[in-house]
């Protein structure tokens, strides 16, 4: 079974007739998640921040790589987009809780982040399924503002990496403030998404 893609009037790929669940990109998503979870578990049992840092590196690099491979090989699928969203939550959940156990001072920021990323952002990200687009990366064709605040390259980097880097620097108050801002942005975006008209 192969992936069928077509290009819309704006040049973005749209949903095809069939999807292959075993694309290279999907296999990378699964592999990076298994590796990140394994490293996260090892970091937790050994109370090792270096192992946790390595786990985060695997998660972030793998998350970039699977998307690049999907786009360059023309094998983006809606199944792959959902898998990517779920794999991100599995990795982030494990690694954030491990960080919380090793650095309890970061508890307020990480708790707010988990609420934002695991619940609100998950619902928001899966919202793309209402429209005939392949992933949230193409939500700009539906609503440019929601896309820029949530799935543009800058928004993606801010949503996960920025908070962890601020926490790692020991700026726990700033991390909590950032987490709260992210939560507000996600909640506002989710409400805005639910108010969008149904696709024709």
Q: Give domain status of residue 125, yes or no.
A: yes
Q: Give domain status of residue 199, yes or no.
A: no
Confidence of residue 2 (pLDDT cuts 50, 70, 90): very low
Q: Give domain status of residue 89, yes or no.
A: yes
Which CATH number covers residue 13?
A: 1.20.120
pLDDT at 14: 54
Q: Give domain status of residue 1, yes or no.
A: no
pLDDT at 13: 54
On the question of pLDDT at 3 being above 60, the answer is: no
The phi and psi torsions of 8 (rounded to 5 degrees) equal -80, 180
Which residues constitute the domain of residue 107?
6-194
pLDDT at 121: 97
Q: What's the average model confidence in pLDDT over 56-64? A: 94
pLDDT at 158: 85
How many domains is the chain built from?
Answer: 1
Q: Give domain status of residue 180, yes or no.
A: yes
pLDDT at 1: 37
Read off the tokens for 74: 């023309």
Q: Which pLDDT tens digit goes with each residue over 15-52?
A: 555 777 789 999 999 999 999 999 999 999 999 999 99
Q: Give domain status of residue 51, yes or no.
A: yes
Q: Which pLDDT tens digit goes with each residue over 98-138?
A: 999 999 999 999 999 999 999 999 999 999 999 999 999 99
CA dihedral 59, 118, 149, 52 (to 10 degrees): -30
Interhelix angle 24-46/49-72, rounded to 10 degrees, is 170
On the question of pLDDT at 7 being above 70, the answer is: no
Q: Give domain status of residue 157, yes or no.
A: yes
Q: Give domain status of residue 117, yes or no.
A: yes
């Amino acid at each position: 079974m192969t992936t069928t893609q077509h290009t819309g009037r704006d040049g973005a790929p749209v949903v095809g007739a069939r999807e292959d669940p075993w694309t290279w990109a999907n296999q990378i998503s699964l592999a990076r998640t298994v590796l990140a979870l394994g490293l996260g578990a090892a970091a937790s049992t050994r109370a090792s921040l270096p192992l946790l840092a390595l786990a985060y590196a695997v998660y972030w690099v793998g998350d970039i790589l699977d998307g690049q491979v999907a786009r360059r090989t023309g094998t983006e699928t809606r199944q792959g987009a959902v898998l990517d969203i779920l794999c991100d939550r599995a990795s982030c959940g494990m690694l954030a809780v491990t960080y919380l156990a090793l650095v309890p001072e970061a508890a307020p920021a990480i708790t707010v982040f988990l609420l934002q990323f695991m619940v609100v952002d998950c619902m928001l990200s899966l919202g793309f399924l209402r429209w005939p687009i392949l992933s949230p990366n193409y939500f700009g064709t539906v609503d440019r503002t929601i896309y820029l605040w949530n799935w543009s390259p800058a928004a993606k980097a801010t949503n996960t990496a920025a908070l962890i880097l601020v926490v790692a620097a020991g700026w726990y108050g700033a991390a909590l403030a950032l987490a709260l801002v992210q939560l507000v942005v996600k909640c506002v975006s989710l409400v805005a998404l639910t108010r969008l008209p149904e696709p024709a």
